[in-house]
Structure 1
Amino acid sequence: MEDVSDQEITVSELPAERVLLDVRENDEWVAGHAPDAVHVPMSELTGRLADVPEGAPLYVICRSGGRSERVTQYLDANGWEAVNVAGGMSVWAGLGLPLVAESGTTPEVI
């Protein structure tokens, strides 16, 4: 398998079969997220490493790509094979990809 450590891909390059880790904060997740994502906020990551899903590679997403880049670096340094999703959920929504909300309202990226 190709070494994807330190790699970054765009939302449009995400494979259909993937493990997606959303590291945005709780209010952002509740407002709207990818239907198949797993949520572990960046602020809780070090205390919730057991909740980080298995996947090689593991695709990490946030709102625009900054937080996910830092989480990707951390995960790569600690034994995961993580890839940053550049542009994040802002690009996801802009492409019209599916969103779900936990709040019962129209999903949006905040």
Structure 2
Amino acid sequence: MAYRYDLKIDQGATLALDIECQDDAGKPMDLTGYTVQAQIRRRHDDPEPAAVFAAALDDPSTGVVGLILDAHQSGGLTKSYGVWDCEVTAPDGSVQRLVEGKVNVSPQVTR
């Protein structure tokens, strides 16, 4: 089951987020060979994402997933709210949703 984490995003600003993945024993999950995807959509059933996070596994053995939404992408979020999630795909093709939640965008003034 995915953890719930609601995002508050400042439109036009960079958002960096680390997700710490743990196994059932509470130890860092080894993500070697895994891939990561994270997206924001206005609604769950929208055909296209409003934004796609850049995802990185700098050291997969630590179980930390790094997500970045750059200033250009957050600047394109014109609606004040939406939904998001982050999933990892194991080398065997199985998919696990790590986190999901709502998105609240604070409009940008300085451009």
TM-score category (smaller protein): under 0.3
TM-score using structure 2 length: 0.26
What TM-score, normalized by structure 1, do the two folds share? 0.26
Q: Which has the greater radius of gyration?
A: 2
